[in-house]
Amino acid sequence: QVQLVESGGGLVQAGGSLRLSCAASRSIVSIPAMGWYRQAPGKQRELVATITTGTSTNYADSVKGRFTISRDNAKNTVYLQMNSLKPEDTAVYYCNAVYYDYNYWGQGTQVTVSS
């Protein structure tokens, strides 16, 4: 089982930056893939970025060049650095871990970008 706790959300002006953190309850070296998803009001949850244990990364087209996902195995934490934020990035951001074919989710952290 994996518990995930997100932090780092908040209110920021367009063009600003935020860094989200996702702390896992177990060693993330044993978790094949982790990632960030987001859900805006009235919309479905969508992929933002993923990272594997081999540090391969994948990004949604809408965030490429602006967001960077990374992991710190020593701290069992995955990060999402978000730069050049836009109002359309406003959403609840969720951390995800795929472990033994089961999807684990955090409680989410709100990111609001004002224009």
- Per-residue model confidence as pLDDT tens digits over 76-92: 999 999 999 999 999 99
Give the C-alpha distances (Å, rounded to integers) separating 24 from 12, 33, 78. 26, 12, 8
Report the candidate in 107, 51, 43, 114 with the shortest Cα–Cα distance to residue 77. 51
The answer on pLDDT for 60 being more than 90 is yes
23 pLDDT band, cuts 50/70/90, is very high
Contacts of 54 (CB under 8 A, 6+ apart): none
**Mean pLDDT confidence for 59-67:** 98
**Mean pLDDT confidence for 42-69:** 96
Q: What pLDDT is stored for residue 78 in this prediction?
A: 97
Q: What pLDDT is stored for residue 53 in this prediction?
A: 87
